[in-house]
Amino acid sequence: MNGTVLVLTAAEWRERQRAHERRIDDRVSHHLSRRRAGVKHPVADFLFTYYSHRPAQLRRWHPGVGVVLQDAEDFAPEYVPVDGGVTLDAAALLERRGDSVRWIRDLLVATQNRPAQFGCFGLHEWAMVYRQPEDEIRHRGWPLRLGAAGTAAVVERNRIRCSHFDAYRFFTAPARPLNVLTPTRDTQVDLEQPGCLHANMDVYRWAYKLSPLVPGELVADCFDLAAEIRALDMRASPYDLAGLGFDPVPIETPEGRTEYVTRQREFAERASVLRGRLIEWCERVLLG
């Protein structure tokens, strides 16, 4: 990177670092306690199993590219000395990860510029258990609200239109031919759209994959959104998770569909803001 955009005194960057650490500690403490006790959670664990960013990595604060930290000689290995302090060696990172940054930028831009679709009603979770043997259901410790036959009936009387490969790839074999699309990894940039809950959860994935090039606060903002979306995702699923405090959004009813789409639109608006911020950081990195 040529030049810098911000100089943080030791007091300033340490306060941002501490605030970030407190924020993440608050978010992950229950997960860490459950993990130590060997207790699984069908909603929250997803944020640390499907997503590969570990709690300790999420807790690690970075200021992003173009920031000089004063009195931070041993801040992290990726930082190099400059006048007044240290800064992230973005050029070295870009040399190793430039293709990845460009691919993420292209995906984010394509998704951001595509019209949002709100007619899926969360049926991807239903397609993941459709005609599945009971002992193979992912969250088999939790009952299906409508039972196996009722779940299958919902799938069969609806048009499934999942555009997200990483949801579609978990469909059961009988459910895949029922989907309007056949998403693949190669068509991901062509198909992802900003109304999709999974695409909007994945804003967190792209944020942490861009770290340490983007600020830790932005990664945390994306994590918070992903956690809220995950809750809706599972409330609208076929599972009965009321015992965990997740009252169902019954998408098999008109009222449930209305509630789902209302929340889906809200999340799409919030994800658009975060996606836009990530695009700006990608451009800052790539343009130097």
Quote the pTM value. 0.95
Lowest mean pLDDT among 104-118, 127-141, 158-172: 127-141
Does residue 1 carry a pLDDT above 90?
A: no
Contact 30, 245 (CB under 8 A): no
Question: Tokens representing 140?
Answer: 């088999």
Mean pLDDT for all residues in the chain: 96
For 186-234, what is each residue's pLDDT tens digit?
999 999 999 999 999 999 999 999 999 999 999 999 999 999 999 999 9
Q: How do 79-82 and 6-8 pair as beta strands?
A: unpaired
Show Cβ contacts of residue 102 under 8 Å, excluding neighbours closer than 6 positions.
282, 286
Beta bridge pairs of residue 232: none
Domain segments of the chain as ranges: 6-287
Q: pLDDT category, 4, cuts 50, 70, 90?
A: low
Per residue in 52-98, pLDDT (tens digit) is 999 999 999 999 999 999 999 999 999 999 999 999 999 999 999 99
Instruction: Give the integer Cα–Cα distance in Å for 127 and 131.
Output: 9
pLDDT tens across 33-53, in order? Answer: 999 999 999 999 999 999 999
